[in-house]
Amino acid sequence: MNKPVVAIVGRPNVGKSTLFNRVIGRNLAVVHNQPGVTRDRIYADAKWNDRSFVVVDTGGLDLSPDDDMIARVRTQVVTALNEADVIVIVVDVAEGITPWDAEIADALRESGKPIYVAANKADNPRRADDAVEFYALGLGDPIPISALHGTGMSQLLDEVILNLPEVTEETEEESPIKIAVVGKPNVGKSSIVNAVLGEERVIVDPRPGTTRDAVNITFSRDGSRYEIVDTAGMRRRKKIFDDLERSSVGKAIESIRRSDVTWLVLDAAEDMGQQDKRISSYIARQGRACIFALNKWDLVDKDTYTFDEFCESIRWQMPLLEYVPIISISALTGTRINKLLELTQVIFGEYSMRVTTHTLNKAFKVIISQSQHPLVAGKRPTPKYITQVSIQPPTFAVFTTYPERIQPHYASYLVNRLREQFGFQGAPIKVKFLSSRRQRGEEGEGGKVRK
C-alpha cells in the first residue's frame, strides 16, 4: 500500500468497528453488540487535516484461542499489525482494564510501533475521568473518546497523524473494476476470493455465516486494477431472525449496488433454488453486469455434455437473464479462476461500451423494418430514432410515436436485437421510450465506443 496504515485493535466488543466507521465517515463495518462480529480485516481510505491514510478494522483479539475460528481471526489481526504504521488499541472505560487488555498491550509493545490508547465509551465527564486508569497499560496517555457520538475524535486523530510517515503524492490511478461476490450461504464465496488473491485473505469455514462484513480488497492483475468484495451469504428475508444477519445481508445488497460486475456464485453440487433466482433478478434490476460462477465443479460427475446440461437448466429457470455468461470453476482446485477474471474484464468492457448514433440507427432501421409494432387501440407506435444516452448499464432512448403504448414484448424484441447486433454480454440493457415530437437528446460522454 502506498498510503500509511492505521490499524484498530482490541478485545471483542469494545467498539472497534464503531470507531472505524467514525474515522472513515460512513457505515462500512457491521456494528452489533454481539461479541466477535468482525472476523476479517476491513480496509478503507480516510483523511484528516489533509493527511490521507488507510484505516484497518480487525476482529476482537483473543490471545488464548480455544477455537479454530478465533485462531483464524487472530491471524487476520496479526497481519494487520504487521502492515500498520500506527496502532490504535481500543479499550472500554465502562468496564475498566481487563486481563485481556493488559495481555494485548504487552503484545503490542513488542511491535515497536507508535501506539495510541483510545478509551472508548467515555460518553460523559465522569467516564472521561475514568480513562486515567488505562495509564497502567504503559502505552502513554489514554485519550477518552466516544466513537458513537464523535467525542474526542479530533484529539485522537491529531495525535495519530503526527506519527504517520510522509508519502509523496502520486498521480491519480484509474478507478478499479468493482466486483461483488454474492450468493447464498456456504456456496464458496470466500474460497473464491482467496483463490483469486492466492492467499487466505478472508476466513473460510464450513459453518454458514462465517463472513459477516462486506470485505473490500483492492489488487492488480495483468495491468488491471480490481476491487473485490466478499459478502455475507444472502438468505430469504423470512428466514432471517436476528439483527446481525439482517445487517450483514444489507451490506451484501449495498455491495451489489456499488459494483460494476457481480459474480453470483452458484453451488454446482446443489440444484438452483428460488433464492438464487431472487438474487440474480435483484442484480439485473440494479443495472449491474453479472457472471454466474458455477463453483464446486470438482464435486460434479462429468461427461462431455455435463456443462451444457447445467447451462440449459439455468437458462430454462432464468430466461430473462440469458445474456449472463456462465463459467464453471473450483475454488478448491483453482480450476478456471484466472478465466473468471479474464471474463470479468470482457464483461466490464461490454458494460461500458458506447455505440455511435450513426451505427445505432443504421442497425435500428433494419430492426424495426423486420417487425412492426402491433396496433394498440387503433394506433400503431412507430419508432423513428435511437440514441445511447449512458453506459454502465447501456441505456438507450427510442423516439417513437405513442411511446405510452409500447408493449413489453416489443421492447424485449428491440433489446434482443440490439444484443444480436452489438453484444453487451453480461450487461442489462435499459430502453426508454420518448415521444418523437420531443427534441432529440444529446449523447453522453465516456465509455468504450463501438463504431
Phi, psi dihedrals of residue 266, rounded to the nearest 5°: -110, 145
Find out whether 348 and 426 touch, Cβ atoms under 8 Å.
no
For residue 205, pLDDT beyond 60: no
Ramachandran region of residue 280, left (φ > 0), alpha (ψ -120 to 50) or beta?
Answer: alpha
- Give me the CATH number covering residue 404: 3.30.300.20
Find out whether 280 and 318 touch, Cβ atoms under 8 Å.
yes
Give tens-digit pLDDT for 319-340: 888 999 999 999 999 999 999 9
Q: Has residue 168 been placed in a domain? A: no
266 and 338 housed in the same domain: yes
136 and 188 housed in the same domain: no
For residue 11, what pLDDT is reported? 82
Cell of 212: 459477516
What is the domain count for the chain? 3
Q: Has residue 319 been placed in a domain? A: yes
User: Whole-model pTM?
Assistant: 0.67
User: Position 380: which residue type?
Assistant: R
Give tens-digit pLDDT for 99-140: 888 888 887 887 888 889 999 998 888 888 888 899 988 888
Give tens-digit pLDDT for 68-97: 444 554 556 677 677 788 989 898 998 888
153 and 241 housed in the same domain: no
For residue 32, what pLDDT is reported? 36
For residue 402, what pLDDT is reported? 94
25: pLDDT confidence band, cut at 50, 70 and 90? confident
Q: Has residue 172 been placed in a domain? A: no
Cell of 208: 454458514
194 and 341 housed in the same domain: yes
- 249, HSE (Cβ side, Cα atoms, 13 Å): 19
For residue 442, pLDDT beyond 80: no
Pairing outcome for strands 395-400 and 383-390: antiparallel
Within 10 Å of residue 61's Cβ, how many Cβ atoms?
A: 26
Place of cell 387503433: 378
User: Position 401: which residue type?
Assistant: T
Find out whether 238 and 246 touch, Cβ atoms under 8 Å.
no
Give tens-digit pLDDT for 282-293: 898 899 999 999
- If DSSP codes are grouped into helix, strand and coil, which group holds residue 337? helix
189 and 242 housed in the same domain: yes
Give tens-digit pLDDT for 2-22: 788 898 888 888 888 889 889
Helices (H), 84-120: 99-109
191 and 282 housed in the same domain: yes
For residue 172, what pLDDT is reported? 53
For residue 171, pLDDT beyond 90: no
> Which of residues 109, 139, 162 is at a domain's end?
162
Alpha-carbon distance 76 to 230, whole Å? 15
User: Position 447: which residue type?
Assistant: G
**Burial (CB count <10 Å: 0-12, 13-18, 19+), residue 174:** exposed
232 and 193 housed in the same domain: yes
For residue 228, pLDDT beyond 50: yes
> Which of residues 333, 351, 369 is at a domain's end?
351
Read off the pLDDT of each residue in 417-431 and give the average, rounded to a whole number. 95
Listed residue (14, 88, 72) closest to 40, CA to CA: 72
Read off the pLDDT of each residue in 148-176 and give the average, rounded to a whole number. 80
Determine the number of helices (DSSP H) and then strands (DSSP E) in the chain. 12, 17
328 and 364 housed in the same domain: no
Pairing outcome for strands 51-57 and 42-48: antiparallel
Give the helix, strand, coil percentages of the chain, each rounded to 5: 35, 25, 40
Alpha-carbon distance 362 to 440, whole Å? 17
> Which of residues 111, 128, 162 is at a domain's end?
162
For residue 170, pLDDT beyond 60: no
For residue 238, pLDDT beyond 70: no
For residue 31, what pLDDT is reported? 42
> Residue 396's domain spans which residues?
354-450
Listed residue (380, 386, 384) closest to 406, CA to CA: 380
For residue 434, pLDDT beyond 90: yes
290 and 417 housed in the same domain: no
147 and 193 housed in the same domain: no
Q: Has residue 171 been placed in a domain? A: no
Q: Has residue 167 been placed in a domain? A: no
For residue 211, what pLDDT is reported? 43
- Give me the CATH number covering residue 73: 3.40.50.300
Cell of 43: 480496509
108 and 194 housed in the same domain: no
The percent of residues above 70 in pLDDT, for the chain, comes to: 79
Give tens-digit pLDDT for 362-416: 999 999 999 999 999 999 999 999 999 999 999 999 999 999 999 999 999 999 9
Alpha-carbon distance 380 to 384, whole Å? 12
327 and 364 housed in the same domain: no
